[in-house]
């Protein structure tokens, strides 16, 4: 499996065909997942290894993608660090007692791998069945901190930025504590069998480049440095990073993932020698087939797609996407 197109692309090597996988491919738009959600909430699915493995496998069998993403939730790490989280339909993660004072930062507990035995078992089940590489993942420290401080998803992240600017010492303690947990969390996934890991920073685009360099980048650099000896590809993805892409890419990783707000060609010129992942706008999947292929063709024409490139969306799979259209797109990209 080390010679799979996905892992070769992560390493910047020439591939026979363009590797494809999609963020949030496990769930949302697929019929098997929707059926399970009739009787299980998201957290119970992620914490039941047989079911989580089933959801992770579905896109491999149905769509023909080149890598599996572990079906989990980014809030599993905060839960393992003692935070009480409820995922509410139509809202997202909700925390009853957000971190709104420096004193509350100390309530985060040290992560231990025993608290995610279920996730390790899911990975072991998947490795026994998969014929494609398995990607583990974690939320990045800024994104996790934003949920812990806001108490729920936000469009502005004002509470998070205010805490960061008002209490820089407490902020750094919070980010360092989360970063320590992330390093061990991803090491645990790798030890269980994950063959690549991705750090998701969904909301860091809310910051200015200077704020990112000052308050976030040093912690992210430490995470990737802490994973270097694991000998698996490390992917770094965020949305809204066009204005800070050079800083965002200034970490020791193999792959940079970008969203649709920057052209793929421009992104490649700006990140240098690292491999690149992205960046079809998820809304494109809802367009007529001719529009999907034309948009894909324009994207692929901007780079050498058969060396150091992984085709993906610029963010998560939309729930409204038609699984047969997605399958058709995978076949189309494979045929390029």
User: Which residue out of 24, 115, 222, 234 is catalytically annotated?
Assistant: 24
User: Which residue out of 33, 147, 212, 309 is catalytically annotated?
Assistant: 147
User: Which residue out of 28, 127, 261, 270 is catalytically annotated?
Assistant: 28
Does residue 28 carry a catalytic annotation?
Answer: yes
User: Which residue out of 11, 37, 213, 261 is catalytically annotated?
Assistant: 37
User: Which residue out of 33, 66, 73, 212 is catalytically annotated?
Assistant: 73
Q: In Å, how far from its chain's centre is CA 174?
A: 21
Does residue 147 carry a catalytic annotation?
Answer: yes
Does residue 73 carry a catalytic annotation?
Answer: yes
Q: Which of the residues are catalytic? A: 24, 28, 37, 73, 147
């Amino acid at each position: 499996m080390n010679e799979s197109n996905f892992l070769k692309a992560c390493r910047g090597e020439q591939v026979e065909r363009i590797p494809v996988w999609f963020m949030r491919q496990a769930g949302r738009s697929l019929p098997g997942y929707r059926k399970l959600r009739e009787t299980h909430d998201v957290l119970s699915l992620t914490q039941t290894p047989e079911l989580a493995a089933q959801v992770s496998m579905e896109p491999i069998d149905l769509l023909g993608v080149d890598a599996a993403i572990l079906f989990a939730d980014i809030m599993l790490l905060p839960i393992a660090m003692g935070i009480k989280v409820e995922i509410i339909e139509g809202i997202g993660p909700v925390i009853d007692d957000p971190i709104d004072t420096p004193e509350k930062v100390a309530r985060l507990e040290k992560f231990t791998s025993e608290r995610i035995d279920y996730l390790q078992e899911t990975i072991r089940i998947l490795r026994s069945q998969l014929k494609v590489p398995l990607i583990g993942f974690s939320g990045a420290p800024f994104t996790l901190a934003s949920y812990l401080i806001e108490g729920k998803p936000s469009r502005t992240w004002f509470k998070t930025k205010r805490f960061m600017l008002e209490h820089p010492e407490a902020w750094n303690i919070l980010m360092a504590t989360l970063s320590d947990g992330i390093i061990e969390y991803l090491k645990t996934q790798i030890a269980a069998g994950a063959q690549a890991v991705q750090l998701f920073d969904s909301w860091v685009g809310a910051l200015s480049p200077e704020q990112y360099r000052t308050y976030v980048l040093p912690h992210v650099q430490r995470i990737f440095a802490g994973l270097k000896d694991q000998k698996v590809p490390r992917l770094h993805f965020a949305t809204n990073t066009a204005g800070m892409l050079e800083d965002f890419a200034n970490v020791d990783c193999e792959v940079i993932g970008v969203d649709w707000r920057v052209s793929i060609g421009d992104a490649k010129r700006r990140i240098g020698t690292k491999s690149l992942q992205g960046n079809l706008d998820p809304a494109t999947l809802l367009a007529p087939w001719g529009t999907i292929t034309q948009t894909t063709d324009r994207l692929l024409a901007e780079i050498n797609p058969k060396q150091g490139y992984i085709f993906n969306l610029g963010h998560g799979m939309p729930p409204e996407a038609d699984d047969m259209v997605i399958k058709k797109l995978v076949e189309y990209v494979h045929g390029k």
